Amino acid sequence: MALRPPGRRRRAALRPAAEMPCLLRPDRALQPAPTRYDASTLAAFPLMPLIRFVLAQLLGWALIFAALKAGAPLTGLWLATGQGVLAALASRALRAERWWHVFHLAFTPLIWAASLLGIGAGWYLAAFAVLALFYWTSFRTQVPLFLTNATTTAAVLDLLPRQPAQVLDAGAGTGSLLRPLAAARPDCRFVGIEAAPGPWLIGRWLAAGTPNVDWRRGDFWAEDWARYDLVYTFLSPVPMPEVWAKAQREMRPGARLVSNSFAVPEARPDFVVPAARAGGRELYVYSPAGNRKAPIKG
Ligand SMILES: C[S@@+](CC[C@H](N)C(=O)[O-])C[C@H]1O[C@@H](n2cnc3c(N)ncnc32)[C@H](O)[C@@H]1O
């Protein structure tokens, strides 16, 4: 996650519209992103992944203590690895996503290894505080921080309306998308809403003095999307059904939703900017109001 000082290379990275054609047609075998969640699941159980993680860890510890009681000669790394394996199996039984199993496998062995280094407890607290500032509610939203690259930003620039427009980056990170766009399109107004204090603070510093960027700390779900001509999201597969519902409810006819990397399940985009033309990321472009009455199934 490379952070750049304000202004550096940002203009050079943006290419004119004529260089960015080659859009996938919507009928070109676009598969909806597979997802095991929908909006109602998320709303009802926003802490589910966290609860599952804690449960799997507790089960791992309960089983390893049972093994110790039964006389298993486990100490040190073997004990930690045993707990990791049992927690990973518990995670699998609890039907967590696969990558959680890997976390479980490594979690206790890494704690054991770190304990050998003799690092002071204060450093762990400091590292936790820094991570918390940057990842904030990621455990609940399941949207981590990663940044839009310069080539993707150039592709988004070409998707902006020709006339002056209002643009929202919902979950704006450090403003890596908005600042170059704002520099390239002084006629447009760009709003960035970011929940996590760490990236928001960096974004605030970097965007200071950019008059057409309105940089806010808050929750983009609380914002009315009706005032925007383009809403950009770079989130994760998890909130996409809810993003789509909000966009359909609120966005005006003619307004566009652009999702970096994550397709809306069961909705057909107007077109897709292929990864080869957008910095290795597909850009899914939708007209939510156009789909309001008759959502097209994929
Ligand atoms: C993958 S990053 C994308 C950052 C930025 N849009 C970019 O493209 O560089 C997603 C960001 O959304 C933020 N986020 C997630 N849910 C949010 C919410 N409900 N309101 C505001 N920000 C949110 C996260 O904190 C994270 O920084």
Say how far apart CA 235 and CA 33 lie, in whole Å. 13
pLDDT score of 144 = 82
Q: CB of 219 within 8 A of CB of 192? A: no
Q: Which parts of 19-119 fold into alpha helices (H)?
A: 39-44, 48-69, 76-93, 98-116
Nearest by Cα to 283 from 158, 141, 138, 193: 158
pLDDT of residue 6: 37
Residue with CA at minimum distance from ligand 1 atom 27:
173
Two tokens at 188?
Answer: 């447009």
- Tell me how far the alpha carbon of residue 101 is from its chain's centroid: 20
**C-alpha of residue 86 to centroid of ligand 1, in Å:** 34
First vs last C-alpha separation in the chain: 33
- Show the ligand 1 pocket: residues with CB < 6 angstroms: 136, 141, 143, 145-148, 169, 171-173, 176-177, 193-196, 199, 219-221, 234-235
What's the one-letter identity of residue 231?
A: V
Q: Using CA positions, which residue lies closest to atom 2 of ligand 1?
A: 145
For residue 172, how far is its CA from the centre of ligand 1 (angstroms)? 5
Q: Does domain 143-291 have CATH number 3.30.450.70?
A: no
Instruction: Report the SS3 class of residue 1.
Output: coil
Q: Using the atom order of ligand 1, give the atom closest to the CA of residue 171.
A: 12
Residue nearest to atom 17 of ligand 1 (CA): 171
> How far, CA to CA in Å, does 165 sit from each of 58, 186, 250, 254?
52, 10, 17, 12
Enumerate residue ranges in the chain where pLDDT < 50.
1-45, 293-298
Residue 170 Cα to ligand 1 middle (Å): 6
Sheet holding 271-273, edge to edge: 213-217, 189-194, 166-170, 230-233, 256-260, 283-286, 271-273
Q: Which of 50, 61, 49 is nearest to 87 (CA)?
A: 61
Closest ligand 1 atom, residue 199 Cα: 27
Q: Give me the sign of the Cα torsion angle 111, 113, 115, 118.
A: negative
Encoding tokens for residue 298?
A: 């994929």
Cα–Cα distance, 150 to 279 (Å, whole number): 7
Whole-number pLDDT of residue 46: 53
- In the reported structure, the alpha carbon of residue 75 is separated from the centroid of ligand 1 by a whole-number distance in angstroms of 42
Determine the length of the chain.
298
**pTM, rounded to two decimals:** 0.73
Domain boundaries, the chain: 39-118, 143-291
